[in-house]
Amino acid sequence: MGRYAVLVSGPAGSGKSTFCSALITHAQSIGRNVHLFNLDPAAERFEFQPSIDIKELISLEDVMEELKLGPNGGLIYCFEYLLDNLDWLDEELGQYDDDYIIIDCPGQIELYTHFPIMSRLVTLLSRTYNFKICATYLLESQFMDDKTKYFAGVLSAMSAMINLEVPHLNILSKMDLVERGETGEEAKAGRRREMERYLDPDPLLLAGEVNAKTNPKFHSLNQALVQLIEDFSMVSFMPLDVTSEESVGSILSHIDNAIQYGEDEEPKEPKDMDGGDFQD
């Protein structure tokens, strides 16, 4: 039997928890056995009650109060504590076989881009607990209107891909808000055409737009970063509209392909193979 996990990561406010809820709703509608794993020790509200919750082990609020740490330092401590108490994780994960675990992560992007803590956890889930993992990285689609933020988002997505080293899907979230305020089909169609530039970004094209908004002394750095993105040619995005079941289903299908969902299932014999109802 297979064990599958989807890591939902990205900056704060990018819509991770909303995406988790949409995934769960859609997965349940097609008969999936799916569970939410809350990996954010500061999370307070959930649309679906987590089956596994890190706050049962440690909470960011308690750490900040008792150890006098700030939010970022406290979060790092929480994850180090988790990795030092694997008996809790072992007990929580042990009961899930042939299940789909959706892991809602914190919004501090340092955890995915350059700190080794999240990559250690991903390696642990993969090698020790035999989960097939796909990481998703959400970037808010409204960043398209601020080219410098979008540029930074592409860089952070690429850094997360390199750091986590698992099958990865980048997602432009909140697409239902992109056309909001546009009037008329022509205006909406123009907005959609503009959006397509950002799904498969051409960094060399974006460089000029970014340079137009930044100090000239940074232009050489911008060009070097753009060339880095171009050389790796790793980053592309899928659009996500959580109000559209087709959009959520399409992303789930890509996740399934990435983790080879269902390939470990035993083949089932067709009902008519015994020939009882077969007529020549």
49-92 residue pLDDT tens: 999 999 999 999 999 999 999 998 999 999 999 999 999 999 99
Indicate the pLDDT class of residue 183, thresholds 50, 70 and 90. Answer: low
104-137 residue pLDDT tens: 999 888 888 878 889 999 999 999 999 999 999 9
Greater confidence (143 vs 8) lies with: 8
- pLDDT higher than 80, residue 239: yes
Domains of the chain, CATH where assigned: 4-179+187-200+236-263 (3.40.50.300), 202-234 (no CATH)
Greater confidence (140 vs 274) lies with: 140
Percent of the chain with pLDDT over 90: 45
Percent of the chain with pLDDT over 70: 88
Indicate the pLDDT class of residue 279, thresholds 50, 70 and 90. Answer: very low
- pLDDT higher than 60, residue 280: no
Most confident of 47-56, 193-202, 229-238: 47-56
Least confident of 95-109, 153-167, 177-191: 177-191
Greater confidence (52 vs 184) lies with: 52
Q: What pLDDT score was predicted for residue 95?
A: 79
Indicate the pLDDT class of residue 254, thresholds 50, 70 and 90. Answer: very high
**Predicted TM-score (pTM) of this structure:** 0.84
Greater confidence (2 vs 12) lies with: 12
- pLDDT higher than 60, residue 275: no
SS (H, E, C) the chain: CCCEEEEEECCCCCCHHHHHHHHHHHHHHCCCCEEEEECCCCCCCCCCCCCEEHHHCCCHHHHHHHHCCCHHHHHHHHHHHHHHCHHHHHHHHCCCCCCEEEEECCCCCHHHHCCCHHHHHHHHHHHCCCCEEEEEEEEEHHHHHCHHHHHHHHHHHHHHHHHHCCCEEEEEECHHHCCCCCCCHHHHHHHHHHHHHHHCCCHHHHHHHHHCCCCHHHHHHHHHHHHHHHHHCCCCEEECCCCCHHHHHHHHHHHHHHHCCCCCCCCCCCHHHHCCCCCC
